[in-house]
A and B are shown apart, each in its own frame.
Chain A
Amino acid sequence: MPGPASNGIPDSPLARMHPMAKIAGVCSLGLATLVWPDFTMGLGIVVILFVAAALARVLRPFTGVMFGFGIPITLMLLFIQGCYSPKNTKVILDLGFAELGLEGSLYAAKIVVTLLVFLGSFYLTNKTTYMGRLVAALTQIGVPSKIGYLILASLNVVPQMQRRIAVIEQSQHARGLETGGGLISRTRAFLPLLGPVVLSSLTDSQERGMTLETRGFGIRRVRQTSYLEVVWRRSDTVMTILFTVFLVLALVLGCLSRTGLVTFAIQWGGRA
């Protein structure tokens, strides 16, 4: 079964890491990229994320997501910001119909790497974390188990609906419905199927709610235990401290450079 709810996650240091430490990582790396004055750090982090993805044995899907998102968004932003940013003063390329400006391009690069860092780190977290573990970790730090269930249920609902749609589609074929052919005929055939899928998902979740109640999910004033034990190891502490220090350093250096107190080795023509 595809999707983050399944437990088919290859074993790796990243998979063994505590989910909260990974979330700390996502926040730290993303924010650091955001406050850093140019795109260089983000680019470095993206490279590191690729290495991490290789270590976690998810390089192939990771590459697909990063390039699938990265290439079109880069082209789009480079075109919009690079050619038409009002900040543009230095022309680096004459395209004929428009001129590519340095300032706008830098700004575009900054946005792209920031998005990629957030996307990549979040994707890695998602790909290497069994959702049950994430929810167990969340309840461990005091998030109510009902909210935890809400997260799990909403994540499970998508693959469940996909399976359901597949079966319903089969049964409609068996009744002579053609869903092949062009996009329009497909859409026309597909729309009537949505009703029962949504409706039955709703009745399903109602039934699941009732069975949860009968199994004592709603009992109050009891400290619930979890079948999945998520252990916080020393390496998680180390990683979290590293992430925090990294973020603080990036913040301080970023602010200092903005105020002009520190200058970096690489000087772009203008600041994005």
Chain B
Amino acid sequence: MKIDLEHLEYVYPHGHRALDGVNLTLEGDQPVALIGQNGAGKTTLAKHLNGILRPTKGRILIDGVDLATANTAQWARKVGYVFQNPDDQLFLDSVRKEFAFGPRQLGFDQDLIARRMEQVAGLVGLADRLDDHPFDLSPTEKKFCAIGSVLMMDTGTVVFDEPTCGQDKAGDDRLAAIIARLRGQGRLCITISHDMKFVARNFPRVVLMQHGRVLLDGSREEVFARDDVLEQAYVTPPPITRVARQIGLDGPVFTVSAFVDAAWRAKSGSRNLSLDTTRAKGVKQ
């Protein structure tokens, strides 16, 4: 799937300019992370991807079709959107009904819904809670219930708004598995997140926003190498990336194993692993 945003501008009714000329193409199956400080315009941008918000100026093309030609309910067939707060999304009296709601609206037949229910419930870890009331789920489970209810709709693109918020390690791992599964199925996953460790681990492409504009758009290596721009946008790279940078390892690293490899490479290359104290002191935490 391909989503083109052309000169996108959005001004909220109370006058706040949330998007200020965004040009962006999202395509393929590479998961994309949208990062940036609060108020950068990430959620506003994401809400344009299925027409929840309509641009004040500019346009959005989904597989070449202007988004303005149909309403959100119709675009729901192509783009799934998981809201930041699951309480905004869940309204039925069982997880099962929540899961079935979207596909029913889209006219999926009963067999398909049942098959997908099994897969998705396993994926989001709610297989044995299908008959529970969503209000009885823990906040984390609620989030996965909301995610599951959107995954059920089998859309070509899935947008997650802050799925990492309030998640523990198990939750993060489950999310990572979901994102990997989407990629495996050739679906485009666009995720808003403030958790840079999670972003660096799971998203090959990163888009950095500030003040309604795209500051950086590229591979995670390219984006996390731009310390100057990241600092200007108040985004801190993952700790291990900063440590590697501080001691002068080549290129941004995102995992412990990559860090160790890079350190070995540096050592065997008989380069001076510059544990240079003056430099280390100068870098802000």
Contact = CB atoms under 8 A, between A and B. Distances in A.
Decide if A and B are genuine partners. Answer: yes
Interface of A: 164, 167-168, 170-180, 192-193, 195-196, 199-200
Nearest first, the 7 A-B pairs at minimum CB distance are: A176-B105, A173-B72, A196-B91, A176-B76, A175-B102, A174-B81, A171-B89
Nearest to B91: A196
A171 B50 contact: no
Contact of B83 (A171, A192, A199): A171
Contact of B91 (A174, A178, A179, A192): A192
Contact of B153 (A167, A176, A193): A176
A231 B91 CA distance: 46
B149 A175 contact: yes
A192 B80 CA distance: 21
A200 B102 contact: no
A20 B92 CA distance: 46
B259 interface: no
User: Which residue among B50, B76, B88 has the maximum number of chain A CB atoms within 10 Å of its CB?
Assistant: B88
B69 to A, nearest CB: 15
15 contacts: A167-B85, A171-B88, A174-B52, A174-B80, A175-B89, A175-B101, A175-B102, A175-B105, A175-B153, A176-B73, A176-B102, A176-B153, A177-B105, A178-B105, A196-B90
Q: Is the interface of A mostly helix, strand, loop or mixed?
A: helix
A172 B52 CA distance: 10
A176 B150 CA distance: 10
Contacts of B50: 174
Given A167-B83, A199-B135, A173 B73 contact: yes
B106 interface: yes
A200 B102 CA distance: 21
A170 B72 contact: yes
B274 interface: no
B91 A195 contact: yes
Contacts of B129: none
B71 interface: yes
Contacts of B89: 168, 171, 175
A242 to B, nearest CB: 39
A193 B91 contact: yes
B87 interface: yes
B87 A196 contact: yes
Contact of A178 (B71, B102, B149): B71
B71 A180 contact: yes
Contacts of B150: 174-175
Interface string B89-108: 11110000000011001100
A195 to B, nearest CB: 6
B2 interface: no
A171 B147 CA distance: 12
A180 B73 CA distance: 10
User: Which residue among B76, B81, B87 has the maximum number of chain A CB atoms within 10 Å of its CB?
Assistant: B87
A168 B106 CA distance: 18
Contact of A173 (B76, B80, B87, B101): B76
Nearest to A180: B71
A267 to B, nearest CB: 55
Contacts of A170: 47, 52, 72, 83, 88
Contacts of A174: 50, 52, 72, 76, 80-81, 83, 150
A169 to B, nearest CB: 10
Contacts of B135: 199
Given A172-B91, A173-B73, 20 more contacts: A167-B85, A167-B88, A168-B88, A168-B89, A168-B91, A170-B52, A170-B88, A171-B83, A173-B71, A173-B72, A173-B76, A174-B80, A174-B81, A175-B89, A175-B102, A175-B150, A177-B105, A179-B73, A180-B73, A199-B135
